[in-house]
Chain A
Amino acid sequence: MKTQMPKAADKATINSKYLKVPFLVRARPYFIMAPALLITIGIFYPFVAAIYYSLTNYSFRSETYNFVGLKNWIKMATSPEFWHAILVTGKYALATTGSEMLLGLGIALLLSKNNFFTKILKVVLIFPLMVAPVIATLIWQLMTNNSVGILEKFLNLFGIYNFPWASSAKTALFTATVIDMWVYTPFVIILILAGIQSLPKSPFEAARIDGGSAWFTFKNLTLPMLKPYMYIALIFRLMASLQEFAIIFALTKGGPGDTLMNLSITGYTTGFAFLKFGQSLPYVLTLWLIIYFISRKLVSKWLLVQKTAAGN
């Protein structure tokens, strides 16, 4: 880091005309940033506190607490709930992110042809993305409800009666995935659409003149050039779906049984429903570790892909 400093100062910045920069000018960016940092770091102190309290038997029931070392962590790692929560977290993230990426890519490609129909769709299709996940869950309960929901009447036409939706362990994940897809697929669509609109024309003309098939053009030109955009969509969606709380909480609070108990919900239940604060923290800290490492991996991958796409 230190060796880079003189180099950085050489570049054209506002202060470059000063040979010896006075302290007040040098410190100016820190002063300018101070309010934002104080506000956010102040709220982020709990993060450090979380690590400390995960090593205690703190509970909302009693005033006093003791330092218990790694007991909470060991208890978590040896409990079946923890491994179940990991599994649910993974399943939910893969199911939602995977289907949103595929559907989003498909719809974005379909929307890339400019005509009257697609122009309107590009405006209205983003509406679900603006809906709060909790409200989206509420809307879908109006759809899936067995007595007044329109979907029940629709499925009756095909001879399916009383489809269980969120109330059965077999279909709960499917139902949550549908709601998640409804809200977030537009996010993937508009990011990939932005990518498609920025594609250069000439390589595609060259491919057409050379007689490349549609599939060949898509696989060797479109997809590699869209990759940076798809990575951005993937990073945002994966990070959010790994910690999804609102949709699952509003839908079943993690049920039926423990079907949808992911790490977020398990941490919440242990901390707030069972009031075992110290024990709940390892769950959410584990979740944070998972998110942290996956996001670092994906971000560096994205930087790499961006370079490759620009080099082509």
Chain B
Amino acid sequence: MNLKLKRICGASVRNTLLALYAVFALFPIFWMILITFKTDAEMYTTTFIFHPTLHNYEEVLLRTDYFWAFLDNIIVSSLAVVVSVLAGVPAAYALARYKFRGKEDLAFTILSFKFAPEILVILPLFMIYQKLGIFDTYFGLIWVYQLITMPLIIWVVRGYFEDVNIEIEQAAQLDGYPWYSVFLKILLPLIKPGLVAAALLSFIFAWNSFTFPLLLSGFKIETVTVASLKYIASDTVHYGQMAVAATVAVIPEVVLALLIQKHLVRGLSFGAVKG
């Protein structure tokens, strides 16, 4: 009896602690979505019970350029991922399957981009981009986003290639397929789920990027992370609209995260932890 009581106590303490953390983690998101439906007047007078309205959504999405920022974000992030996949997947294959001089040095150099302070890259790039005329262009942003997406694609996909048994490849080679057919027709289909997950995760990272679009664009091209700053800084704050801006930026990522759940640990740790 005593043991049973102890176990129930333990379980309830555990669940209470977990519930507390869940409130900390999830309530802000709930609160954000809740006040998107509040009018500016009700913001001050009510907490949970109010007359829901879509006015804030109309204001932000139809009467400001936030919607264009949203589109710009999609364009820049997805093209950055496409470039990284096209150039990075073959590189990952080379790192996984070939032995060549300087291999690990190259791999770690690529990884080090992930840890280099972004400001350090931006300060000289700001000047170079203006000289080259690619400041505030899609091309410029997509290029610099490679520092975010490329290391992730290369390191994660390399791990997936290494997981494929080399005998499958050798069997195909014996059957007379050239190396590129082996790569395209046999290897790529095998690693497809992992590759898609890595691409989506790098899309999320690119989507979240703030420092690069803040300092290397912002006039013609604006991402949601930069556009949302206006809602923080303005003096006459419309909190409902601020919440809409945040909600619109968050929703696509939550959906993507749900899609790639199984691969998340591996992607987030750059392949170091095979979850």
Rounded to whole Å, the gap between the CB of A309 and the closest CB of chain B is 13
Given contacts A36-B154, A182-B24, contact A245 B106 (CB under 8 A): no
Contacts of B101 in A (CB 8 A): 1, 5
User: Once the chains bind, are B121 and A32 in contact (CB under 8 Å)?
Assistant: no
Rounded to whole Å, the gap between the CB of B115 and the closest CB of chain A is 5
Interface residues of chain B: helix, strand, loop or mixed (majority): helix
Contacts of B269 in A (CB 8 A): 191, 232, 236
Rounded to whole Å, the gap between the CB of B156 and the closest CB of chain A is 14
Within 237-256 of A, Cβ neighbours of B (below 8 Å) are at 239, 243, 245-246, 249-250
CA–CA, A33 and B102, complex, Å: 12
**B28 proximal to A (CB < 8 A):** yes
Give the most central of A139, A143, A271: most B CB within 10 Å.
A139
- Which stretch in A69-77, A90-98, A109-117, A157-165 binds the other chain? A109-117
**B185 proximal to A (CB < 8 A):** no
CA–CA, A191 and B129, complex, Å: 38
B contact residues, total (Cβ < 8 Å): 95
**A195 proximal to B (CB < 8 A):** yes
User: Once the chains bind, are B83 and A190 in contact (CB under 8 Å)?
Assistant: no
- Chain A: number of interface residues, binned into ranges: 35 or more
**B249 proximal to A (CB < 8 A):** yes
Rounded to whole Å, the gap between the CB of A192 and the closest CB of chain B is 10
- Which stretch in A80-88, A125-133, A215-223 binds the other chain? A125-133
CA–CA, A250 and B210, complex, Å: 10
Closest A residue by C-beta to B32: A139
Contact of B144 among A43, A127, A239 (CB under 8 A): A43
User: Once the chains bind, are B116 and A123 in contact (CB under 8 Å)?
Assistant: no
Within 116-130 of B, Cβ neighbours of A (below 8 Å) are at 116-121, 123-128
Within 25-73 of B, Cβ neighbours of A (below 8 Å) are at 25-26, 28-29, 31-32, 35, 43-44, 47
Closest B residue by C-beta to A14: B97
Contacts of A123 in B (CB 8 A): 258, 261
Contacts of B170 in A (CB 8 A): 14
CA–CA, A292 and B250, complex, Å: 32
**B93 proximal to A (CB < 8 A):** yes
Contacts of A145 in B (CB 8 A): 239
Contacts of B88 in A (CB 8 A): 36
**A29 proximal to B (CB < 8 A):** yes
**B164 proximal to A (CB < 8 A):** no
User: Once the chains bind, are B86 and A267 in contact (CB under 8 Å)?
Assistant: no
Rounded to whole Å, the gap between the CB of B149 and the closest CB of chain A is 10
Within 146-205 of A, Cβ neighbours of B (below 8 Å) are at 147-148, 150, 153, 182, 185-187, 190-191, 193-195, 197
User: Once the chains bind, are A13 and B97 in contact (CB under 8 Å)?
Assistant: yes
Given contacts A13-B98, A14-B98, A139-B32, contact A39 B128 (CB under 8 A): no
User: Once the chains bind, are A277 and B118 in contact (CB under 8 Å)?
Assistant: no
| Known contacts A46-B124, A132-B224, then 12 further A-B pairs from the complex at CB < 8 Å, ordered by chain A residue | A39-B143, A40-B150, A43-B146, A45-B128, A47-B120, A125-B26, A135-B246, A142-B32, A190-B275, A191-B269, A243-B117, A288-B116
| Chain B residues with a Cβ under 8 A of chain A | 14-15, 17-18, 21-22, 24-26, 28-29, 31-32, 35, 43-44, 47, 83, 86-88, 90-91, 93-95, 97-101, 103, 106, 110, 112-113, 115-121, 123-128, 143-144, 146-147, 150-151, 154, 166, 169-170, 173, 179, 204, 207-211, 214-215, 224-225, 228-229, 231-232, 239, 242-243, 245-246, 249-250, 253-254, 256-258, 261, 264-265, 268-269, 272-273, 275
* Interchain residue pairs with CB less than 8 A apart (16): A12-B166, A14-B179, A35-B87, A36-B91, A37-B106, A43-B143, A46-B128, A125-B21, A132-B210, A132-B249, A132-B253, A135-B249, A138-B232, A145-B239, A245-B119, A291-B116
Instruction: Report the 3 A-B pairs with minimum CB-CB distance, sorted nearest first.
Output: A46-B124, A132-B208, A36-B91
